[in-house]
Every structure is written in C-alpha cells, then in structure tokens.
Amino acid sequence: MVRVRVEVRLKKGVTDPEGDNVHKALALLGFKGLRAVHTSKLFLIELTTKDPKTAQREAEEMCRRLLANPVIHDYSISVEK
C-alpha cells in the first residue's frame, strides 16, 4: 500500500473568500501581525499499489480529472511509502 498526499490550493491572484473571512475573524479575535490567510484542501489517498511511480501517475490523473480545476488551482503531490 502507498499513501499519496495531495494538496490543492488556489493559484496566486485567485480570490480566496474563505481565507479572507478567516483573516478578518482572527483579527477581530485580537490576533496581531497577520499578513494573509490562504486555504487549501488536503487529500490523503491510500492506494493498493506498492509502486511509488504508479501512485504518482494515478494521483496526477485524479487531480486532472477531479480534484483540481486547472483554471484556478495548483496542486502538489507527495508519495509516502
């Protein structure tokens, strides 16, 4: 079994309303020195394959087909053995 970690985040320049709202709320709660808050989604996927290269290819395909919208998202993949 191989575990794949996929982080999907908004591309630079794409508005992040959730991050903006959290930023404002943290400031209202008294947290100082906040520059920005950005949100992302983390997917932890367990695959039955034992081959890290196969897992990487499958995760790339998952991102292209479902997990990320290439117009607004960037993503990173790491394969854990």
The structural domains of the chain, with segments of one domain joined by +, span 2-80
pLDDT digit string, tens, across residues 6-65: 999 999 999 999 999 999 999 999 999 999 999 999 999 999 999 999 999 999 999 999
In sequence order, what are the beta bridge partners of 73?
10
Give Cα separations from 48 to 51, 59, 76 (angstroms): 9, 13, 21
Give Cα separations from 36 to 28, 39, 65 (angstroms): 14, 10, 30
- State the CATH class of domain 2-80: alpha beta
Question: What is residue 65's predicted lDDT score, i.e. its pLDDT?
Answer: 99
Question: What is residue 37's predicted lDDT score, i.e. its pLDDT?
Answer: 98
**Helices (DSSP H) in the chain: which residue ranges?**
17-28, 52-62
Question: What is residue 81's predicted lDDT score, i.e. its pLDDT?
Answer: 77
| CA within 13 Å, CB half, 51 | 4
Predicted TM-score of the model (pTM): 0.90
